[in-house]
Every structure is written in structure tokens, then in C-alpha cells.
Chain A
């Protein structure tokens, strides 16, 4: 097909540009949160992430210390210090004392505030305010200044979300949900798939049709009855209705039709001769399954495992219905959703948390992309 299009230089150039545009649109949003999660939180809120590498400038307001900080020097009352206090150092270019003219004076200039009061503010933030009379009141002078800060990158955001925002705990919860919910259905589906592919028994065709029908049943159909069932079981046995065991089984149930469908079409395609020669050698179905079918099916088992892992890890709905919202059960997606409500504007928390939740799927995805694509092709070309 390479000869069909893009023969001319311009045509070929156009293709490169078009693909570049698509790739840019598809990666820039993710890049945005990755870069933002590594930025200093003060810079994050005042400048776009695409300017992360340039020096950011902003107009800030600060208050000088009150009268209690003054000392008498040579007949004048003086307040000295640094306007940044313990905060990160910035570079001040101009300052002022009125909101209407925040950059009235150059840094290093002495500003006359009237009644003999003068204020000197240097570029590094140190200031000297002098007055012939004693200062009064605890509220110090309001100062506005334009400052510029070099780009700052930090891993502080990650430290914050992992250890004090509860994301670390949710990470463990997500793993607790995902790993069993991935392994259990594989085994159950593999046996069923083998029986549906290679064993003869009445009702087999009907079972296959039911499985294919269930492939597209919306999850929504299951939620209310299962919620009632779980509550009933919990009440009857006096155990909590929302447990990890409950969600493992729920994910197993929801994942089984696809697992059986995917595994059956693969196992049915294994060469008949291998099965038959094993049977002639006296192997039972169980032995054939364990010694021949399982090892040969490794690629499709891997495909399904990746699917199920991603689906369970990324799921929000099932977790919201079948798990509690306490810190011991809240999974990453649920936690992120809760943070969107409670920390709506704190982008350093949100971007960092989002990146923590997507990093595991991205690693799985990139390292096992081959199996993932294979499963996608096998799973969708016929079914849904």
C-alpha cells in the first residue's frame, strides 16, 4: 500500500504532519498532568504547565511584621527582615504599597510612604522600613511586589499524596482488589472454555449462546439485585455486606463471559491431532487440559489477564457499589473521585494523584502491549 499514496514529496510531508498533529492531541493532555505533578505547587497555580521550563513571574502581596518587631536605632524606629520569611527565594523586580500601583517602585529603591516613613525593598526580599515615630498596631504594612522565580521541580507532591492524602493506602486497596479478581476468573474460565470447545455434552450449544448473549449485558442490570443480595447475606450471617471477597466474586462474575468467549475461541483453534493422539495414549480430559491445553494457551491467558487487570484496576462503578468508602476499602479510582470533590482546585494534589492511579496500567500496557493487542483483536472481531 505504500505506493498508493504519498508519492510526491508534499504528500509524504503532509502525512508526517497529520500524524504528528494526532499524536500531539493524544499525548498533550497526559503530558500536562505528568509535568504539573512534578512542579512546585505555588508555580503550578500561577502559570501554565507548558511554561514550566521558563522563569515564572507574578504579582504577589505580603505583609511586613507589625509594631512588635521594631527596634529603635539612632532616634529612628526601624523594622527589618525578609519579606519571604522562610518561603522559597524569588527575585523581586518592583514593588508598591497600593493595590492600584503594585509596581510603583523599582527593587532597591527607597519608597516614601508619607509622614517621613520610608521603605526600602531589595531584589532578594530584604527590607528596611524606617519612621521618625514609633510604629503602632500589630498589622504591619501591606506590600505588593512583582517577583520572578526560576522553574522549580519537586517530588514533594508525590510525598504528600502518597503519605498524607491517603493515596498510598488506596494503592494497596486497589492491588488487593485487582490481583485476586484477575487470577480467579482465569482458572474458572479456562476449564469451562476447554469443556465448551472440546467435550461433547447436551446443552453445549445453548451454553455458548448464553455466554455470547451475556457478553453485552450492561453491568447496570446486575447492580441492584446484587446489592440487595449482598445486603441480605450480610444481614443473615451478621457479616459486613461490603467485603473484598464480595468484590472479587463480582468482578469474577462480570469478567467470566468475556474470558470464556476469548479462551474458547482460542482453545477450539488448537490442532485436533494433538488432542487425539493424547487421547489414544490414554490421557483423560483432565490430563489433556492440564498438560497440553493450558501450556499451549499461554498467550490467550496472558491477553485475558491484562484485560481483566486493566478493567478491574480502572473500574469505579463496581467498587462504589460493592466496597465501602472508608480508607480501608477505598480504591484509587474512588479516592480520585472523592478528591475531585474535596480538593477540586488543588491541582498539585489532583494531577499527582491522577498520575499515581494511571502509572500501573501504563506500565502493564507498555510491557505487555503485544498480548493486549492480540486479545483485543481476538475478542472484538466476532463478539462485542
Chain B
């Protein structure tokens, strides 16, 4: 253990030191090869120009290298592997995809993912908006916001344990130690095995993600609400609008763009949801989702890379429209130029 701590500290020093040495050293070398000081005017201008051509690449080089190895190359390789067999050696065409659409578990995952996509972003945005509006009106609003925001810092696994304890089931008549079943029993109902009741268990898993992500939606929407010009609301008040009209007809239309951003961000997250399903049910009782199914095939029976890659590609396809929209949005805002 001590050795491990020491080696971690050592690596931090070597890693960070290495980065510093690279950036500093590469610069020094560039300055030495093309000196701009202490040479004749024309040569200095020439060398400055050459420096200007090379230096940006010294700065972006390491980032480009790492991003290429860890993201660009894998995306291309996954596309290739998805048309190969389980070992990645032989070409099998679209066999992995046709297998997927014929597989009961896969179709179940697609349906569940659609269900998650329909419920979670909407619920997070809705609750986030409501809490943002309400907390703006009370003196302890910031404390309330912090508490709703807090689950965002908790890992999906931690959150799963927290909620598994909420859903804990004991047979009827016994003392319930899960608060949900205790409440149900208190109200005269029968305790339920929440996470292993097919179909409905999906919703009990979704609650966990909604619980985590509402704080995110709330913070973003709250700052957008603050940006609404006071006059528009005052004008509506003078015109005699009631609070609900003000909310739906004045406030919501003005933050439409932000709502869309929150919605898409959570949508991307939902497509990748993995930890919650793995720890709560591991896909049993018809609660499987794509990301967990993919992980499963990576290692199931020694690992089937073809099928795993095909599932990854299908997740990726769902993200592509959002990706294109993002890039176009950034270009329109002049993200490229300065």
C-alpha cells in the first residue's frame, strides 16, 4: 500500500514534470533552431514566420495524439469490428446487426432505452424547471438548491446502493426496512418487490437517474431564468396575467434554447446509462439497456467483439444527429474564427 502511494506520487511528478519539460523544451528547441533575436532583421522576420508555423503544432500536438489514439482511432476501429466475427479476424458483413435485431434481449434493450429516453430527460427538465422557479421565490432557496443539486456528486453505483435500500423488500407482515415499502404498508398496501417486477422496474431504475440529474437541469435553467428581462414579466403582471400564464407564456418561451440544451445533454447521458442497470439488476427481469448489453457481450463467453461493437455503433448512431447539430451550432456562433 505504501509502495502504491509512493508510486502514485512518483508518477504524478514524472507525468506532470514530463508534460512541463516537453512544452518548455520543445519551445526552447524551436527558439534555438530558428532564432529571432540576435540575428539580422530579414533573418529574424523569416525565422519568426517559421516559428509561427510550427509552434501551434507543438501546443496542440500532445492533445491531438491522445485524442486520436483514444477516440478517433477507436471510433473507426469499432465500425470495422462491427462487421467482423467475435475475434475480429473474419469479415461477416452485417451478420452482427441482423443477429442483434433478431435477438430478444437486444430488442428488449432497445425498447427499454426508448422508454428511458422518453421519460428521463422530460422528467429531469420538468422537475428542474419547477424547482428553479420555486426556489427563486423563497429566502432559503439557495440551501434548497444545494440539497437538490447534491446527488450530482454521487456516483451511479453509490446512488444505486442508496436507492436499493429505499426499495428494500421484506415479505408481508415483517418490519419493512426499505422506506418505500414501509410507506406502502403504512398506507395499507402490500409491499412490492420493486426492482424485479418486469416493465415497472424500468421506472424504478429511471428514478435514480432523475434523482441525480434534476440538479443539473435546475442549475442551468435557474441561470437562464435569471436572464429573463424583468420588464417582460412586469408587463404581463400589469396586463393581468396569472402566475401560470406568466410561467408558460412569458418565461418558458424565453428559455426554450436552454431547455433544448438541457434536454439533449441528458438524452446523451441516458443513451450511455450503464452503471445503474448493472448494479441494480444487471439486465435481469427485462430491464436490460444497450450500454449494459454491450458491456456484457464484451466479456460474455470470452467476449464477442463483433456483437459488442455492433451494439456500440447503434448507440453511436443515436448520438450522430446531436453531434452534427452541435458542430453546426458552434460554427454559426463563429466557434472557428476569432
A interface residues with partner B (beta carbon < 8 Å): 1-6, 11-12, 15-16, 18-19, 22-23, 26-30, 32-33, 36, 44-50, 169, 172-173, 175-176, 179-180, 183-184, 187-189, 191-192, 194-201, 204-205, 207-229, 244-245, 248-250, 252-254, 256-257, 260, 268, 284-286, 289, 310, 313-317, 320-321, 328, 333, 336-337, 340, 347, 350-351, 353-354, 357-358, 361-362, 364-366, 369, 373, 376-377, 380-384
Contact = CB atoms under 8 A, between A and B. Distances in A.
A355 to B, nearest CB: 8
A183 B12 contact: yes
A27 B150 contact: yes
Nearest to B337: A205
Contacts of B7: 244
Contact of A222 (B71, B134, B150): B71
Contacts, number: 379
B161 interface: yes
Contacts of A180: 8, 11-12, 15
A347 B147 contact: no
A225 B77 contact: yes
Contact of A184 (B19, B71, B165, B295): B19
Contact of A209 (B24, B309, B331): B331
A2 B234 CA distance: 10
Contact of B162 (A29, A204, A214, A373): A29
Interface in B98-137: 127, 130-131, 134-137
Given A208-B335, A224-B308, A369 B146 contact: yes
Interface in B293-338: 294-295, 298, 305, 308-309, 311-313, 315-316, 319, 322-323, 326-327, 329-331, 333, 335-338
B330 A36 contact: no
Chain A binding site: helix, strand, loop or mixed by DSSP?
helix
Nearest to B167: A29
Contacts of A376: 216, 219-220
B243 A4 contact: yes
Given A209-B336, A347-B177, A364-B153, A223 B261 contact: no
Interface residues of B toward A: which range? Answer: 35 or more
Nearest to B77: A225
B196 interface: no
Given A26-B151, A316-B278, A381 B258 contact: yes
Contacts of A310: 153
B211 to A, nearest CB: 7
A191 B23 contact: yes
B148 A23 contact: yes
B162 A354 contact: yes
A77 B299 CA distance: 65
- The listed residue with most B CB atoms (<10 A of its CB), out of A11, A27, A225, A380, is A225
B236 to A, nearest CB: 8
